[in-house]
Amino acid sequence: MAEISHLHERLLANLRLGMSVFLDGHVRDAKKLLEEKARFRDLEREYAASHIARLQDNTAQSIETSSLHLDLISDLKRINSHICSIAYPILDMAGVLSQTRIRHSKLAELPADEDKR
């Protein structure tokens, strides 16, 4: 439950920051909001992995609440993502938004299939 509470606290802080970005349009705060989005995503992964580890240890409370716990973590991340989306137009208008937000992957290096079967 501490993990859920921690994510909720961060979500509320990001909501306050997101409202500030929306009202004031400061680029510095928009950048900070996207940094917080990345931190939140990392925490979500860490907390989900911790929960899975507790399941492997057969912790009774974790087994009973497993689906709910993982769903809440995922839902909080999704809400946070929506809150943080306000930063994109601010950064785009300032000309500081990267061309792509998609992480570089090995798939991007593969040649395009011209047959498209």
Model confidence over 20-52: pLDDT tens digits?
Answer: 999 999 999 999 999 999 999 999 999 989 888
**Residue 105 in 3-state DSSP?**
coil
Q: What is the DSSP letter of 106?
A: G
pLDDT value at residue 115: 46
Return all residues near 29 (Cβ < 8 A) that are at least 6 apart: 17, 20, 21
Confidence band, pLDDT 50/70/90 cuts, at residue 107: very low
- Alpha carbon distance 96, 30 (integer Å): 10
Q: pLDDT at position 117, please?
A: 41
pLDDT digits (tens, 9 = 90+) for 58-74: 776 666 777 888 899 99
Q: Which domains does the chain have, with CATH numbers?
A: 2-98 (1.20.58.220)
Mean pLDDT of all residues in the chain? 84
DSSP 22-81: HHH--HHHHHHHHHHHHHHHHHHHHHHHHHHHHHHTT-HHHHHHHHHHHHHHHHHHHHHH
Q: Which two tokens stand for residue 35?
A: 């940094």
Max distance between CA atoms of the chain, in angstroms, equals: 53
